[in-house]
Amino acid sequence: MKKEIESHRGRERRGRAQNILGKMYQSGDGVPLNLQEAVKCFREAAELGNVNGQYNLGRMYQRGTEVKRNTREAEKWFRMAASQEHKKAQYILGVLYAKGLGIQQDIKEAEKWKLKAAQHGEARAQNYFGVKYVRGVGVERDLEMAYMWLHLASMQGNSQARKNITILTGKMSPEQISAAKQMAREWKPKA
C-alpha cells in the first residue's frame, strides 16, 4: 500500500512539474520559447492526470496555434479537466456544447457545465447566469439572483458583469439590492 501511495505521489509531482515546464516553454520564461516542447510537456502532464496540463493541452487544440486545431481533442482534454472540477475547463466545455463547436450541440449539457463553472467561481459563467436571470431565459426571472451572480463576477474583475450590474441596479429597489448583496456575501464556491 505504501508503494502505491508513493507511486501516486510521484505521478502527481511529475505531472505538476511537466505542466510548469510546459508553461515555461510556452512563454519562453527561463527557457527558450519552444511551442513543440510545451505541447510535449502538457501532454505528459495531462496523461499523468494533471488537471492544469489537461486544460492547457485542451486550449492548445482549441486554438490551433501550437498544434493543428482539433476540437475533438480539445473537448476530450477539457472534459477530463472539467471532471476534476477545473472551472475554466467546465466553462469552455459549456461553450463548446452551446455552440456545437466540433461536437454535437447540446444545450442541456452546455447548461450543466456552465452551472458547474459558475458554482466553482468562474466569472464568465457567473456573468452568463446573471444575464439569464435578468432575462428569465431558461429560468424564472429573478433580479436578486441575477444581481448576486453579476456581483460575484464583477468582484473578480469581469468588466461585462460590471456593465450589466450597472444597468440592473436601475431596475431594482434598494431593498432588492441589499438582499442580493447579502446573498453574494453568503455565497461560497463549491469545493
The model's pLDDT over 30-43, given as tens digits with 9 standing for 90+, comes to 999 999 999 999 99
Report the pLDDT averaged over residues 22-29: 95
Please check the confidence at residue 4 and state whether its pLDDT lies above 80.
Answer: no
What's 142's DSSP letter?
-
* pTM of the predicted model as reported, rounded to 2 decimal places: 0.89
Please check the confidence at residue 6 and state whether its pLDDT lies above 60.
Answer: no
pLDDT of res. 2: 47
Report the pLDDT averaged over residues 69-89: 96
CATH assignment of 2-119?
Answer: 1.25.40.10
User: What ranges do the domains of the chain cover?
Assistant: 2-119, 123-186
Place of cell 487544440: 61
Report the pLDDT averaged over residues 10-23: 92
Nearest to 23 by CA among 37, 3, 13, 9: 37
Q: How many CB atoms lie within 10 A of CB 96?
A: 24
**How much helix, strand and coil, in percent to the nearest 5, is found in the chain?**
75, 0, 25
Nearest to 54 by CA among 94, 23, 87, 82: 82
Predicted confidence (pLDDT) per residue in 111-164, tens digit: 999 999 999 999 999 999 999 999 998 899 999 999 999 999 999 999 999 999
